[in-house]
Amino acid sequence: MVQYVLESQCIGLGYKVYINGVPVSEGDDGSRSVQQSKISQWLINGSNRVDVELYKLTDESKIVTSDFKVTLLKGELGKEPGTEGVLLDYSWDEQISPISITNSIVKSFEFEVIGLPTDWLWLSANTAEISHSDKIEIVKLLKLIYLLFKSTDIPNIMKFLQIKHREIASAMGITQSQIEQGLAMHLKNIWSDPEWKILTVNWENLLITPLSNNRLYSIKTYEKGSIIQIETPNKKYMLDLIISKVLWSLDYC
């Protein structure tokens, strides 16, 4: 089964990468990072777009060098994609595209996709702006999923994610239960630490950002970023939540 993967490599810069208006990779602390993101669920048959935003960090006291590269790969799981599987290979050049504190840059690229096994349900959402009552429903949904994570209620977490899991399973050629078992094992590992905790959320101070022509909405808080943030003594886990207007279903990446 063909998969699409985006790899971002960055040091010394802040960056965000969007696929068809959906954020799929970002970093803002300047440390060296390599992120790989499976992006099949954000693609459509036909023309697709990648937007790369790069910006200087306000505190550069510890920045020695700056570099950024993004690669978009197409291939089958477990196999090297080869040169024909490289759909995008962009490296930032400071001489060509200088960046300053007051001047970020955005680079856009297009690529074609054919033969996707499914049309994602979120694409059928209407593109009207959300109303005040819609926002109330979003907050209700977020509070519920927050409580499910807080109470370690894995079965009901899976119910909220069943549309996403079903479609991703179809795209990957695996079963929905395989995806759910993998997520359940990951959550159980986090919750096995007796000192784990979920950070509190200020529900009056949410940042709701429309994506993909109002079909999706990214939900964060102004103070902390991700709604779901779980900490153990040795690690911090953050889930960036994206809401689909179709049945107000939940995705996260």
Last residue in a domain, options 71, 92, 113: 113
Q: Are residues 136 and 102 in the same domain?
A: no
Last residue in a domain, options 61, 84, 113: 113
Tally the C-alpha atoms within 13 A of residue 235's C-alpha that lie toward its C-beta. 7
Domain containing residue 129 = 121-252
CA distances from 227 to 20, 60, 203, 221 (A): 23, 28, 9, 6
Q: Are residues 34 and 102 in the same domain?
A: yes
d(CA 25, CA 5): 11
Q: Are residues 174 and 248 in the same domain?
A: yes
The pLDDT tens digits for 196-224 are 999 999 998 899 999 888 888 889 988 77
pLDDT band per the 50, 70, 90 thresholds, residue 29: confident
Q: Are residues 135 and 21 in the same domain?
A: no
Last residue in a domain, options 113, 143, 165: 113
The pLDDT tens digits for 141-189 are 899 999 999 999 999 999 888 888 888 887 777 899 999 999 999 999 9
pLDDT surpassing 60 at residue 250: no
Q: Are residues 105 and 191 in the same domain?
A: no
Determine which helix (DSSP H) or strand (DSSP E) holds 138, and give its type and residue range.
helix 132-150
- C-beta contacts of 194-202 below 8 A and 24+ residues apart: 195/232, 195/233, 196/230, 196/231, 196/232, 197/230, 197/231, 198/146, 198/149, 198/150, 198/228, 198/229, 198/230, 198/231, 199/224, 199/229, 199/230, 199/231, 201/142, 201/146, 201/227
Q: Are residues 237 and 158 in the same domain?
A: yes
Q: Please give the pLDDT value at position 31.
A: 82
pLDDT surpassing 70 at residue 118: no
Report CA Rg, the chain: 19
pLDDT surpassing 90 at residue 1: no
Q: Please give the pLDDT value at position 121.
A: 83
Q: Are residues 21 and 109 in the same domain?
A: yes
Q: Are residues 131 and 237 in the same domain?
A: yes
pTM of the model: 0.77
Q: Are residues 210 and 106 in the same domain?
A: no
Q: Please give the pLDDT value at position 106.
A: 93
Q: Are residues 125 and 248 in the same domain?
A: yes
The pLDDT tens digits for 42-101 are 888 899 999 999 998 876 666 678 899 999 999 876 677 778 889 999 999 989 998 888
pLDDT band per the 50, 70, 90 thresholds, residue 252: very low
Structure tokens at 246: 């179709």
Domain count, the chain: 2
Q: Are residues 242 and 126 in the same domain?
A: yes
Longest dimension (CA), the chain: 52
User: Concatenated DSSP letters for 152-204?
Assistant: T-HHHHHHHTHHHHHHHHHHHTS-HHHHHHHHHHHHHHHHTSTT-EE----TT
Q: Please give the pLDDT value at position 135.
A: 87
Q: Are residues 106 and 151 in the same domain?
A: no
Q: Please give the pLDDT value at position 65.
A: 85
Asked whether the beta carbons of 198 and 228 are under 8 A apart, the reply is yes
Residues 6+ apart with CB under 8 A from 219: 138, 142, 206, 207, 208, 209, 227, 241, 242, 243
